[in-house]
């Protein structure tokens, strides 16, 4: 309704109400409702104007009345629909039955999965295209070689690490190859030296080297010393021992050339690998027991065959000694010193009543050994030095004669003690 139109609504005793456009004018209208009066009064006390409260009440009440009218209309429609729903459903079923084939065809056209133009097929194609595009975009992004690739820094770091690792591995491999080559050369040289030693030892044992074995050459040298002293040396390496077995290579019987033996010295020649100290003592004890000897001397082919923690020409346990000689020429002063020291020890231990100046014998023996070592040092020097050899050999001969004098002194002391005892 337009604003110029005016609707007067009047009733006897109920005041005047005019509806002018979107406005409502109320005059002398009395509302008899205690709730409404109380609300207006309470809000007036709270500071709100009574006219505003009445205006709000009218506006709210109008909206409520409008909603109630709408609900009434809905209820009416629902009731009317209920009345005619059965008939409508029956007619609809008939319509569907008569046109179900047409409806099915239309549905198949729009939603059939096997039709190229269907909605599902179009949606699937759109999704596939979108997924392919996303995959291509992601692939391009992650394969890019610049900062647009989120893994560029990681890939670059991994590549650097792999390159550094590969370089280090190549360097280490080269170093390992060099080490392996050096070790291979050393192993070959060691095998050649070991093989040569084995071949020499086999030749020694077989008696093919110079026609004699090391054992035989040692025996010949010992026998020469024994003959000069009136002793008897027997090569017993291949003969059975009184105590069983064939241990002991050369058995020396002191003073046996002119009468009964005054004692026995057992010499064992070893050309093989170096024995340990315990093995050497055990073997020499077995040799002495088998040959009924009082003293044993282990003769080894070279200084490198002397057992560990032992010294040559040193008496051990009162009845054992070790001496190192030249493999090819064992005869010499070193073997003679060992022979004489062993003979002197047996002479001193033979008779408890034999009064021998033990300190003098010990001193002479130590001096002889010391001098012998000096001689050996000079002899080693002569092997490598050709100049001034005459002076060195003269000094060597003097030292050898000094050793022989000390040995003669030992023999004299023993003989003097024997004469006084008689």
- Average pLDDT in the 160-166 region? 81
What whole-number distance in Å separates Cα of residue 87 and Cα of residue 93?
A: 10
CA angle (27, 2, 16) in 5-degree steps: 15
Q: Which two tokens stand for residue 348?
A: 């001193």
Tokens 């023993």 correspond to 414
- The confidence score (pLDDT) of residue 23 equals 80
Residue 386 burial by CB count (10 A; 0-12/13-18/19+): exposed, middle or buried? exposed
Q: What is the mean pLDDT of the chain?
A: 76
User: pTM for the whole thing?
Assistant: 0.43
pLDDT at 1 over 50: no
| Residues 6+ away with beta carbon under 8 Å from 392 | 378, 381, 382, 385
- The confidence score (pLDDT) of residue 220 equals 94
Tokens 């391009």 correspond to 140
- The confidence score (pLDDT) of residue 218 equals 93
Choice between 9 and 152, residue whose per-residue pLDDT is larger: 152
Choice between 182 and 421, residue whose per-residue pLDDT is larger: 182
Does domain 211-333 sit in CATH 3.40.1350? yes
- The confidence score (pLDDT) of residue 153 equals 66
pLDDT at 265 over 70: yes
- The confidence score (pLDDT) of residue 179 equals 80
pLDDT at 91 over 90: no
- The confidence score (pLDDT) of residue 128 equals 80
Q: Check: CB of residue 267 under 8 Å from CB of residue 218.
A: yes
CA 317 remoteness from chain centre? 47
Choice between 186 and 382, residue whose per-residue pLDDT is larger: 186
- For 324, how many CA atoms within 13 A lie in the half-sphere containing its CB? 15
Q: What is the pLDDT of residues 138-153, one digit of tens each?
A: 777 666 666 666 666 6
């Amino acid at each position: 309704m337009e604003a110029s139109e005016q609707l007067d609504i009047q009733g006897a005793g109920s005041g005047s109400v005019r509806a002018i456009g979107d406005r409502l004018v109320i005059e002398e209208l009395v509302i008899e409702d205690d709730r409404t009066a109380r609300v207006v009064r309470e809000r007036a006390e709270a500071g709100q104007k009574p006219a505003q409260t009445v205006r709000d009440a009218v506006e709210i009440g109008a909206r409520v009345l409008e909603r109630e009218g709408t609900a009434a209309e809905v209820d009416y429609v629902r009731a009317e629909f209920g009345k005619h729903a059965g008939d409508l459903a029956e007619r609809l079923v008939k319509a569907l039955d008569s046109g179900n084939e047409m409806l099915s065809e239309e549905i198949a056209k729009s939603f059939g999965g096997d039709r190229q133009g269907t909605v599902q097929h179009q949606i699937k194609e759109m999704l596939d295209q979108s997924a392919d595009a996303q995959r291509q975009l992601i692939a391009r992004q992650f394969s890019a070689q610049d900062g647009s690739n989120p893994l560029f820094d990681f890939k670059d770091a991994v590549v650097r690490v792999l390159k550094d690792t590969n370089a280090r591995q190549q360097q280490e491999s080269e170093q390992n190859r060099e080490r392996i080559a050096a070790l291979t050369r050393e192993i070959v040289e060691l095998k050649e030296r070991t093989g040569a030693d084995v071949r020499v030892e086999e030749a020694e044992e077989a008696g093919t080297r110079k026609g004699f074995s090391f054992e035989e050459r040692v025996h010949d040298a010992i026998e020469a010393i024994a003959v000069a002293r009136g002793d008897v040396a027997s090569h017993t390496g291949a003969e059975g021992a009184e105590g069983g077995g064939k241990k002991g290579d050369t058995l020396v019987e002191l003073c046996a050339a002119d009468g009964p033996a005054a004692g026995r010295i057992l010499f064992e020649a070893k050309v093989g690998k170096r024995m340990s100290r315990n093995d050497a003592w055990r073997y020499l004890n077995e040799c002495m027991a088998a040959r009924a000897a009082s003293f044993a001397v282990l003769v080894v082919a070279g200084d490198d065959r002397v057992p560990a923690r032992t010294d040559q020409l040193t008496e051990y346990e009162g009845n054992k000694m070790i001496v190192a000689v030249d493999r090819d020429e064992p005869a010499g002063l070193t073997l003679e010193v060992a022979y004489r020291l062993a003979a002197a020890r047996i002479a001193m231990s033979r008779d408890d009543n034999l009064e021998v100046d033990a300190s003098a014998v010990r001193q002479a023996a130590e001096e002889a050994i010391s001098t012998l070592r000096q001689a050996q040092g000079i002899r080693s020097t002569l092997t490598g030095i050709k100049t001034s050899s005459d002076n060195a050999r003269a000094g060597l001969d003097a030292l050898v004669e000094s050793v022989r004098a000390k040995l003669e002194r030992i023999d004299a002391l023993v003989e003097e003690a024997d004469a006084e005892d008689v």
